[in-house]
Structure 1
Amino acid sequence: MEWGTSIEFDPVILLFNNPERLFSVRTAVGAAHALMNEFPYDDGKEFLAAIEICLDVVKGNAKSEQLRAAIIRAADEAGVTAIAVLH
């Protein structure tokens, strides 16, 4: 797998404190962007686990559903509202 490859999962909407900061995360690339550029904290246990799982998904060593769950846990840890959308 490469970063340019679309690894999709059911979307997670992230609502940050600023109402203009709303993100729909549905790919490994989108997850990496949100984690590295948008999350208010970058040193929490769940945050670091989400980064690791993101890399594992891209490498083909983890499933995209694991990344989705990790994003939700990291958001909870950081006080970011996460709305899990199911298709």
Structure 2
Amino acid sequence: MKIDMSTEFDKVILIFEDPGRRLIVRTALEAANALIKEWPSDDGEEFLTAVKACLDVMTGKASSDELRSAILRAASEAGVGAVASIH
């Protein structure tokens, strides 16, 4: 099975509660790292959907747009600010 962690999507800027703490996410690997290492809560339904979307994109089972949408929903669920940029 081929794994592609570099699949890109239009960037999402995540804004956490800590002052000045921001994270730019634009690849499946960056999304996975944000969810696993930076996320304030790891038990929400949208969080789990976003983690699965990361794996699905890396293995070619989902599109990067699906992952981007999942990250935005997970951010909303966790109270993380998200600024979606579109090229």
Q: Under TM normalisation by the shorter chain, which class is it?
A: over 0.9
The runs of 5 or more residues in structure 1 that have no matched partner are none
Aligned partners of 2:39, 2:20: CA distance in 1, in Å? 14
Deviation sequence 1:41-77 (CA, Å, 0-9, x none): 0000000000001100000000000000000000000
* Matched residue count: 86
Alignment match, 1:68: 68
Distance 2:61 2:53 in 1: 9
Equivalent position amino acid for 2:17 in 1: N
Q: What is aligned with 2:7? A: 7
| Displacement after TM superposition at 1:79 (Å) | 0.2
Q: For residues 1-87 of structure 1, what are the structure 2 equivalents within 5 Å?
A: 1-3=2-4, 5-87=5-87
Root-mean-square deviation over aligned CA pairs: 1.0
Give the % identical residues. Answer: 56
> 1:21 deviation in Å?
1.7
TM-score, normalised relative to structure 1 = 0.94
Task: State the TM-score, normalized to the length of structure 2.
Answer: 0.94
| Structure 1 stretches of at least 4 aligned residues deviating more than 4 Å after TM superposition | none
